[in-house]
A = this chain, B = another copy of it.
């Protein structure tokens, strides 16, 4: 947990530190990210960072948490129940579109999301991704369950498993089109960002149509 000092901080200074941290951790992940670099880029002494946070992990965890909260806040308006006459596929597809569009417009958030999902240390990974996954599961689950209850999804649908799969898939769909280095060997990422985004959306449509009643 961030120290009290962090909350008392001048907003501009806090923003500079957070931005520098998102950029550095987003590029090199938790263990690879350098506090020296973050301090330098933020225009702040390294010692200051330890006034704000207990240690590197506390710092990273806060950066990851804030990032996921921002992203989730952007998604929340679209997590409502589907409008009248709106099919499940339209509703959920729109959600995927919003997600991809948000990541396209926010490279810092996108990079931190990637770094979080690519973390290899089990303890760090669990501590950082756990809350995020719970957040998303809580947001998306009602949509799936609602579609099952309304007879739009097959009654035999394994909601939990489908949920896991979608939460697992979302980062890939959002990241792939904009980080060409990540998976350029796969055709999904072969062309321009725009085309790839459309392809990602089409893919979700195709796959989800399998569970539609």
Residues of chain A touching chain B, judged by Cβ–Cβ distance below 8 Å, are 27-29, 31-32, 114-115, 118-123, 125-126, 129-134, 137, 157-158, 160-165, 167-169, 172, 179, 181-190, 199, 202-203, 206-212
Contacts and interface: CB of A to CB of B under 8 A. Distances in A.
13 contacts: A28-B31, A129-B183, A129-B185, A161-B188, A162-B203, A164-B188, A165-B203, A165-B207, A168-B172, A207-B207, A208-B210, A209-B210, A210-B211
Contact of A206 (B27, B125, B158, B186): B158
A209 B207 CA distance: 8
B160 A125 contact: no
Given A123-B181, A168-B169, 10 more contacts: A133-B185, A134-B185, A137-B186, A162-B203, A163-B186, A163-B187, A164-B183, A165-B203, A169-B169, A209-B211
A101 to B, nearest CB: 19
Residue in A137, A162, A207 with the greatest tally of chain B CB atoms within 10 Å = A207
Contact of A187 (B131, B164, B172, B212): B164
A115 B122 contact: no
Nearest to A189: B164
A28 B203 CA distance: 33
